[in-house]
Amino acid sequence: MSTAELPKAVDGPLTFIDDRLGSTTFMKRNLKKVFPDHWSFMLGEIALYSFIILLLTGTFLTLWFKPSMTDVIYHGSYVKLDGVKMSEAYQSTLNITFDVRGGLLMRQIHHWAAILFMAAIMAHMLRVFFTGAYRKPRELNWLIGLGLFTLGLLEGLFGYSLPDDALSGAGLRITAGVIQSIPLVGSYIMFFLFGGEYPGQDIIPRFFTLHILLIPGIILALVTAHMMIMWHQKHTAMPSKDQAETHVVGYPFYPVFMAKTGAYFLFTFGVISLLATFAQINPIWMFGPYDPAAISAGSQPDFYMGFLEGSLRMMPNWETNLWGYTIPWNVLIPALVPLGLVMTGAGLFPFVERWVTGDQRYHHVNDRPRNAPTRTAIGMTGVVFYGVLWLAGGNDIIAYKFDVSLYATTWFFRVAIFAGPILAFIITKRICLGLQRSDAATMAHGYESGTIKMMPNGEFIEVHKEPEEEQKAVILSKEEPKPSLPARDENGIPAPATKGLLGHVRARLNRAWHIDNITVEEGHGHEAEGADRELSKGH
Amino acid sequence: MKWFTAWRRRPWAGYAVVLVALATIGVVYAGFSPRTAQATDSSASADDLAHGKQLFNQNCASCHGPNAEGTRDAKGNAIAPSLIGVGAAAVNFQVSTGRMPAMNPGAEMPRKTPVPVFNPDTIQVQYPPNATEEQKKALRQAAVDKNLNDIQAYVESLGNGPSVPSADQVAPANDKVGLGGTLFRTNCAQCHNFAGQGGALTYGKYAPPLLQSTPTQIYEAMITGPEAMPVFNDTTITPEQKRAIIAYIVQTRSEANPGGNGLGRIGPVAEGLAGWLVGIGLLVLAAMWITAKKPKKLKKQHD
Ligand code: HEM
């Protein structure tokens, strides 16, 4: 930056600041920070920008929203609810919708941003998982991400409950039921949270505080930590010609990435506004105020809570009676098991993978999903598990729109929740190996160019071309697994890492992780197929 | 009446008023003409009953039996129920919504276009020479009314049941629409959804959308309880409350969506889908476009 031409009025204060904060060197260093270019790296940014939009629109909404469960009789401008008894919270949301200028738009932006926030977090997490970007040294940020996802779920649940309409009331009722189902302490926690019997007078004011203060505060802190760690560690990068573990290739933050990300903020804001303008969301005036006696067909939570709804819907009605207590498996299992499985599994995964593969190195270059077939297959298993639960949460809509029996869908999902993930694992792994095989073939005798040549003897052949440098680099980014440790060395002494039950399990898992590996190497002109047979039998 | 003042200023309000005026004149004219006066006469003559029985034999007896006593298949399962004592309202509801005569009995009798003898658009009528389109239409309507009245009278003659409500009984109580909404949400929404869009029930049954039902049909559905729907008699929901519900249904389906496209008014499932497909979809495209753009001046740099 040349400050030489700056007028004195600008230069003076700048020098003042710089003398005290030393910001020029700080800026110089950070403005040159390099950002790699790949579309999937922008998914996290959608979440970040949606969160900013949530903060802004949420603040607007707090100006008019009244978190109170006091009963009132409505006589406002929405004639269809004239004379109806409702809570002040619901009434104030109606007022935001129909009387506050721009209020409905703000509500809709807030809600669409919430949907995109959660969807983007999920997509971002999948990207990080499937490319192995969570590997050392980025495990901490992976865990923070999981925390953000969980907090987002809670934040959404609380926000959804605030307007106190018929659907959010149904959601609250389920929440209360789930809390109550926790053995021994459930009823106490519920009484504590709701300040007495369900629904009571306290829950909306309490959720309000959590929704606008506590949880956004924690999210903000975690997002900051997330970004600072990322800044410090730099982005991972997709494999390419110039990429190496020792440096990042990309564009400097200023001006290139800043311009791009600034534009992307505007894109995010634009898409959310587009949705908020043209697609109605959460029409609480149609749902009516919360009324314990009323329930509508198609009562669903927002999509990110859908998997919990789904697991409740497909669970058989089991209960046990133990010493006078009822243990409601029918609520307990669906509420805790799927979430527990997905979150615990995701949280432990980086560490388990490191333990199994014995890979303690730093990784800054991502894996292509096909080159880590076991990880990719496990990921798809999780996705399908979650997806089945999610679909099951909309089973009534599916039954209605596709004209199938509601019971049939329930049974379908009960089978699919077990069969689907297993199938997904097998199929994904096969697809990955197939892609590896085609990579190996490309390296061995070039790629099919689509050009047909006629030989002097009249034979037609397709010309195979040597792949470009860039393509070669991408394909060769695959790491060949080191042969796993022999259980015993030539003197019959067991290797220390394979001793004991744990060591045994580890050796087994290690073999399973790399089984059917296909070697991809620079062309020796031999048949890739044969080579891979050899290798998988080799150890 | 704020909405009315606002409405009056709309450009199309003038046309609407003219249309309503024309329609009113038409109705009044039809009311004075002797033919329809006869058709709405509820005391049925022996001729009418005979005509009703004849219609029944032609359209319904194959399933409901020659004397409407119901029929059973070889295993003793009912093919079609007895109609003795179901009443005129049930017949009017089933036939005017096109459910009866049924085509292929399944889990659910869907609403469909009525057969020609009960359909004012397709019924065959002898027109007098030089009849205008207007007159032809009135003639067809009258013929359908007569057929409906006669078959109702015939079924009614086999055993008394709820009768067809009058126009006053089904007039929407627009001043009580708030009450209507509350009643609708507690009594109907669990099957028909909060906006009357319909929903799935168990065993492959579903509650249909209420988008085409006339006020008379809504009233009749409540007092006869077709299939899986419960009967809402006058003690559970008073006639006045029924008119409030009708007002709610009629107003809701003509109500605009202030927030944009209603996404089918089926709730959060459609919203989640739109969020992923449109929201994330567009943003991923944008991300691909942005990251694919290479700055011209800057060469790639190494950190
Ligand atoms: C990750 C962040 C957030 C998420 C996921 C989220 C989600 C939601 C959702 C789904 C609703 C229901 C909206 C509706 O009526 O359709 C809501 C309502 C609300 N939110 Fe948030 N929100 C977030 C952050 C915030 C923040 C930071 C504030 C305030 C500073 C806020 C203030 C409000 C208020 C006042 C309401 C009730 C008003 C209304 O429903 O119209 N929100 N939120």
Structural domain range at position A86: 31-295
Can you give the pLDDT at residue B158?
86
Has residue B12 got a pLDDT over 90?
no
Can you give the pLDDT at residue B6?
60
Q: How confident is the model at residue A410 (pLDDT cuts 50, 70, 90)?
A: confident
Round to the nearest angstrom and report the end-to-end CA distance of chain B: 69
Q: What is the DSSP string of B23-57?
A: HHHHHHHHHHSHHHHHHT--S--HHHHHHHHHHHH
Can you give the pLDDT at residue B15?
64
Can you give the pLDDT at residue B62?
85
* Bridge-based pairing state of the strands A85-87 and A71-73: antiparallel
Which residues lie below 8 Å from residue A45, measured CB to CB, with a gap of 6+? A261, A264, A265, A268
Nearest to B172 by CA among B94, B253, B264: B253
Rounded Cα distance between A138 and A226, Å, is: 10
Rounded Cα distance between B299 and B303, Å, is: 12
The torsion angle over the Cα atoms of residues A13, A15, A17 and A18, rounded to 10 degrees, is 160
A301 to each of A69, A154, A174, A182, A378, how far by Cα in Å?
21, 12, 10, 21, 28
Rounded Cα distance between A473 and A343, Å, is: 35
The Å distance, Cα A182 to ligand 1 centre, comes to: 28
Task: For chain A, give the percent of residues with pLDDT over 90.
Answer: 32
Tell me the pLDDT tens digit for each residue of B80-104.
888 888 888 999 999 899 888 888 7
Supply the CATH classification number for the domain B42-121+132-164. 1.10.760
Q: Per 3-state DSSP, what percentage of chain A is helix, strand, and coil (rounded to 5)?
A: 65, 10, 30
Tally of domains in chain A: 2
Task: For chain A, give the percent of residues with pLDDT over 70.
Answer: 88
Can you give the pLDDT at residue B58?
87
Has residue B120 got a pLDDT over 90?
no
Has residue B41 got a pLDDT over 60?
no
Asked whether A111 lines ligand 1 (CB < 6 A), one says yes
The average pLDDT across B268-276 equals: 88
CATH architecture classification, B165-257: Orthogonal Bundle (1.10)
Tell me the pLDDT tens digit for each residue of A266-311.
999 999 999 999 999 999 998 889 887 777 776 778 888 888 888 8
Closest Cα in chain A to B189: A296
Can you give the pLDDT at residue B207?
87
Q: Is residue A436 part of a domain?
A: yes
At which of A242, A260, A295 does a domain end?
A295
A255 DSSP assignment = I
Q: Between residues 410 and 439 of chain A, which touch chain B (CB distance below 8 Å)?
A: none
Nearest to B213 by CA among B40, B93, B79, B38: B93
Q: How confident is the model at residue A496 (pLDDT cuts 50, 70, 90)?
A: low
The Å distance, Cα A212 to ligand 1 centre, comes to: 7
Buried b (16+ CB within 10 A) or exposed e, A350-379: beebebbbeeeeebbbbbbbbbbbbbbbbb
**Contact predicate A130/A376, CB 8 Å:** yes
The average pLDDT across A363-377 equals: 86
Paired tokens of A226? 């997330």
Find how far residue A109's CA is from the centre of its chain.
Answer: 21
Closest CA of chain B from A282, distance in Å:
7
**Contact predicate A360/A136, CB 8 Å:** yes
Tell me the ipTM for this assembly. Answer: 0.81
* Domain boundaries of chain B, sorted by first residue: 42-121+132-164, 165-257
Nearest to A330 by CA among A314, A341, A319: A319
Has residue A135 got a pLDDT over 50?
yes
Which H or E run includes B137? helix B133-158
Round to the nearest angstrom and report the end-to-end CA distance of chain A: 59
SS3 state at A72 = strand
Can you give the pLDDT at residue A148?
95
Can you give the pLDDT at residue A61?
96
Q: What are phi and psi of A299, to 5 degrees?
A: -75, 110
Can you give the pLDDT at residue A327?
73
Q: Is residue A326 part of a domain?
A: no
* A373-377, A478-482, B6-10, B68-72, range with greatest mean pLDDT: A373-377
Q: What are phi and psi of B297, to 5 degrees?
A: -75, -40
Mean pLDDT (chain A) is: 83
Which residues lie below 8 Å from residue A375, measured CB to CB, with a gap of 6+? A129, A130, A132, A353, A367, A369
Tell me the pLDDT tens digit for each residue of B205-235.
788 889 989 999 999 999 998 888 999 988 8
Q: How confident is the model at residue B3 (pLDDT cuts 50, 70, 90)?
A: low
Closest CA of chain B from A328, distance in Å:
24
Nearest to A157 by CA among A106, A203, A109: A203
Can you give the pLDDT at residue A273?
94
* Bridge-based pairing state of the strands B206-207 and B199-200: antiparallel
Can you give the pLDDT at residue A219?
96
Closest CA of chain B from A254, distance in Å:
11
- Which of residues A162 and B71 earns the better pLDDT score? A162
Q: How confident is the model at residue B299 (pLDDT cuts 50, 70, 90)?
A: very low
Rounded Cα distance between A87 and A70, Å, is: 5
Same domain as A226, residue A78: yes
Same domain as A291, residue A378: no
Has residue B10 got a pLDDT over 70?
no
At which of A295, A325, A350 does a domain end?
A295
**Contact predicate B214/B203, CB 8 Å:** no
Same domain as A87, residue A233: yes
Same domain as A221, residue A115: yes
Same domain as A284, residue A427: no
The average pLDDT across A210-233 equals: 92
**Contact predicate A54/A69, CB 8 Å:** no
Same domain as A96, residue A197: yes
Tell me the pLDDT tens digit for each residue of A84-105.
999 999 999 999 999 999 999 9
Asked whether A159 lines ligand 1 (CB < 6 A), one says yes
Can you give the pLDDT at residue A212?
94
Nearest CA to ligand 1 atom 17: A159
Q: Mean pLDDT lowest for which of A81-90, A98-107, A206-215, B2-11?
A: B2-11
Can you give the pLDDT at residue A516?
77
Tell me the pLDDT tens digit for each residue of B158-177.
888 888 888 888 889 888 89
Q: What are phi and psi of B44, to 5 degrees?
A: -90, 135
Can you give the pLDDT at residue B296?
57
Q: Is residue A359 part of a domain?
A: no
- Cβ atoms within 10 Å, residue A530: 9
SS3 state at A46 = helix
- Residue to mutate, A54, A66, A110, A284, ligand 1, most ligand atoms under 8 Å from C-beta: A110
Nearest CA to ligand 1 atom 42: A58
Can you give the pLDDT at residue A487?
60
User: Is the CB of residue A30 less than 8 Å away from at least one CB of chain B?
Assistant: no
Q: Is residue A414 part of a domain?
A: yes
The Å distance, Cα A127 to ligand 1 centre, comes to: 27
Rounded Cα distance between A439 and A472, Å, is: 9
At which of A295, A329, A349 does a domain end?
A295
Same domain as A410, residue A274: no
pTM comes to 0.82
Q: What is the number of CB-based contacts under 8 A between chain A and chain B?
A: 230
Paired tokens of B222? 């409540």
Has residue A185 got a pLDDT over 90?
no
Q: Do the first three CATH levels of B42-121+132-164 and B165-257 match, i.e. the same topology?
A: yes
